[in-house]
Amino acid sequence: MSKFAKIILLVIFVTSQGAVSMASSLTLMPQPQYFTSETTHFSLTPALPYWSDSNNERVNKGISRLNSRLKKLDSKIQLIAAKSKESAKLVLLISSQAIDRNPQLYDDESYSLTVNPQTMQLTAANDLGIIRGLETLTQLIYANSNNQIQSIKILDKPQYPWRGLLIDSARHFMPIETIKRQLDGMAAAKLNVFHWHLTDDQGWRFESQTYPKLHTVASDGDFYTKVQMRDVVEYASLLGIRVVPELDVPGHASAIARAYPELMTLDKQYKRESHWGVFKPLLDPSNPEVFVFIESLIGEFAEIFPDPYFHIGGDEIDPSHWQNSQNVQDYMKKHNIKNAQGLHTHFNGRVNELLKQRGKVMMGWDEVFTPGLPKDTVVQSWRGFDSLAAITEAGHMGLLSTGFYIDQAQPTGYHYRNNLRPDIDSTPAPAPEANTLEVNFVMPRLKGSDVAGKLVLESPLHTSTFGFLKLNNNTFKAVHIVEHTKSSLTISLDTWMGPFAARFNMSGNGIASGSILVGNTPYEMEQISVQKTRGSDYPQQHQSTMKYSNLLGGEATIWSELVTENNIDIRIWPRLFAIGERFWSSSALIDETSMYQRLLKIEKYADKIVGLSHIKQQRIGLANLLEDPTLLPHLLHVSQMLEPAQYYTRHHIKYQQNLYHQQAPLDQWADFLAVESLTLKQLSLGWHKALTEVQLTELEQEIKHWQASTNKLLEQISSEPKLRFHQAMLTAIAKELALGIQLIDTCQRKPGSELAHEFSVNFGEIIFALGHTLNTLNRMCHR
């Protein structure tokens, strides 16, 4: 497979997922919990007088931030201090009192915002609510034209108290200015927890006074000083954001092993770990110095990070070193510990006691959730809803991260559908017939174990309208029947890998072959078997046992194997605004069309007003691919059609190529592509059962523009060494664009002609393999 096989050509992008429409929405993200609007307007003036009843630093910083953002508007509005409340046009009121401290879990973040023709008034119980409301007001001003803001009443508060983003600074170091820029974006999206992943196998990023070799030996010079980390905590606090550090123990400890091998279960000299993956070094629970080490570090972390919550990682433990150590085995016998899981629980219990002594609450990933885990431990789930349900049902507070792993290139709609309350939009299963069919298959992956699938359908196969799919050991989930013909059956659903679509090609009463799309990336299907089962074996709609009172919220994660300071904004923004909406707004808000319409505007708002660098980073990254700078507009234009391969496909390909490590350059075309083509999404938003002449003309003009840019790149490719590698891909794009023009011409002239039928028959397989559907357009122009 060539390098660019991991980049999928998108010609038409049609979303088949259904959604419940809201009666109305504002061009805001996240959407407020409640609002009413009127036809009157408030008129903004170049000098806008404001008055605040608080001199709190957080409020003052919020006003200053609003002022600097207003200056970025074309109208250059400027806030000026009013002499009195009565003379002010913007009034800020705290109804209770400012908290004047670092934010904490369960702080009141509610606010009300009233805009009428005379004034804009923002009221909140404290300064946190004020700055949340100021973010809403900034978006309102940006969204309204002619310096007019529609009269509105907003009552707003968050759905969940924990709304976070994890940034991995251990694998690829992120400079302080990069971290602060993401904090600015988080505040704009109303997120309130920065989970800072500071230690891992590939690097230790925390300056330690008691164990200095951690940052002098195991960081390769890239670490944060205590002054810098305190600065980040203060910066985040003024934005209403808590900072929760992660000290990963007992595994993911190769950096510790390099600096202090005597603390490891296997005491030897360790080389620097630069590859990505799960490694064997584990701290030695039988060595008392290990807990002296952890206690000392907890103390150093506590001096920097005042938040009560402290993340210990605790994930991906390879127990082989423990199992092969006589000292550890003797220790287990002494403490009546039966196995490695019990030892891990014992280790976590000791760490929990050390944290309690410092007034800290322990957090960990799924793997810490074992029998005997202290009930006050917060567990963060990366394994999905089944795990999260068990966590909350057992009495632990839980967080969801599955479905919000934004280091993966996945469409925003997938994250948006990842409702923390899946019972909101669940579909009841119809009663099965007497017999059902069980289809078993295997999806080989490019790295790691195969994925086993079990699809249960109504019988007979050709008339099935409903079914359930189980992947590996997860519970059955209802599937959506996308297309059903005599020759094929296509199903879709969201999985932990991303949007998942499988097409089964039928022969007679059986299945001859199958293919799978994970997001936009094709995978083969193997070992397909079909057997009849009893109707009584038909799975039922899974009812979540989640104890929602124990669900704190969720966290998006940006792991940095394929992310550096040069493309982190491209990977995070603007889709984190939609995830922020999932955490802040009502669970009943599930209209994807509305979300995308707002996201298209938020993308520009994030760039122009908030100062995020997703657009700037793409331009710089693509410019560095070119010898001739005049080609940049064409390369940017062609890039609108492309997305990086979704799921962890690029990670797996790089592993196969021995490029899955810290020194591998991340300077390819795919590294600077937007995660999702919002240009194509915008084209398809208005598509329903049929395309209008206007829509066809708009699409034709866009394709012709792409053709011109593609041809320009092909003309100059011989003198562009970094693009020459992609000549075959560009040639394929040119061919597909030409087919698109022919198809549109056929739709415009005579829908249903032989040429249109020829497209459907001859090119359907090709387009399915590419990940999207020109033949969808073909079908639509018949209706």
Catalytic member of 295, 316, 483, 698: 316
316 is catalytic: yes
Write the CA distances from 75 to 7, 45, 482, 767, integer angstroms: 41, 9, 48, 46
Under DSSP, is residue 143 helix (H, G, I), strand (E, B) or coil?
helix
DSSP β-bridge partners for residue 157: none
DSSP β-bridge partners for residue 331: none
Separation between Cα atoms, residue 566 and residue 613, nearest integer Å:
9
Separation between Cα atoms, residue 602 and residue 579, nearest integer Å:
13
Separation between Cα atoms, residue 314 and residue 283, nearest integer Å:
11
Taking only Cα atoms into account, the Rg of the chain, rounded to an integer number of angstroms, comes to: 27
Tokens of 640: 């609108």
In the sheet with 120-124, reading across from the earlier edge strand, the strands are 34-43, 148-156, 111-115, 120-124, 90-94, 47-52, 78-81
Q: DSSP alpha helices (H): ranges in 260-398?
A: 288-304, 320-323, 326-334, 340-357, 385-393
Separation between Cα atoms, residue 248 and residue 262, nearest integer Å:
18
Tokens of 683: 């084209």
User: Could you give the angle at the alpha carbon of 521 between the alpha carbons of 663 and 569, nearest 5°?
Assistant: 50
Please report the beta strands in 419-495, taking only residues with DSSP state E, as ranges in sequence order. Answer: 435-443, 451-458, 467-471, 477-484, 488-495
Separation between Cα atoms, residue 9 and residue 639, nearest integer Å:
10
User: What are the two backbone dihedrals, phi and then psi, of residue 156, each rounded to the nearest 5 degrees?
Assistant: -140, 145
Separation between Cα atoms, residue 654 and residue 662, nearest integer Å:
12
Helices (H) and strands (E) in the chain — how many of each?
A: 24, 28
Q: Which residues contact 277 (CB under 8 A, 6 or more apart)?
A: 660
Under DSSP, is residue 125 helix (H, G, I), strand (E, B) or coil?
coil
DSSP β-bridge partners for residue 458: 436
Separation between Cα atoms, residue 714 and residue 635, nearest integer Å:
11
Separation between Cα atoms, residue 647 and residue 500, nearest integer Å:
10
Q: Check: CB of residue 604 under 8 Å from CB of residue 676.
A: no
What single-letter DSSP state applies at residue 3? G
User: What are the two backbone dihedrals, phi and then psi, of residue 304, each rounded to the nearest 5 degrees?
Assistant: -95, -45
What's the one-letter identity of residue 723? L
Pairing of strands 361-365, 378-381: parallel
Of the candidates 126, 163, 120, the one whose C-alpha atom is nearest the C-alpha of residue 140 is 120
Of the candidates 688, 686, 679, 684, the one whose C-alpha atom is nearest the C-alpha of residue 781 is 688
Under DSSP, is residue 654 helix (H, G, I), strand (E, B) or coil?
helix
Separation between Cα atoms, residue 136 and residue 148, nearest integer Å:
15
Of the candidates 671, 640, 660, 500, the one whose C-alpha atom is nearest the C-alpha of residue 11 is 640
User: What are the two backbone dihedrals, phi and then psi, of residue 675, each rounded to the nearest 5 degrees?
Assistant: -60, -35
Residue with tokens 């997305």: 643
Q: Check: CB of residue 151 under 8 Å from CB of residue 37.
A: yes
Q: Check: CB of residue 469 under 8 Å from CB of residue 455.
A: yes
Query: 349: exposed, middle or buried (C-beta count within 10 Å: 0-12, 13-18, 19+)?
Result: middle
Residues recognised as catalytic: 316
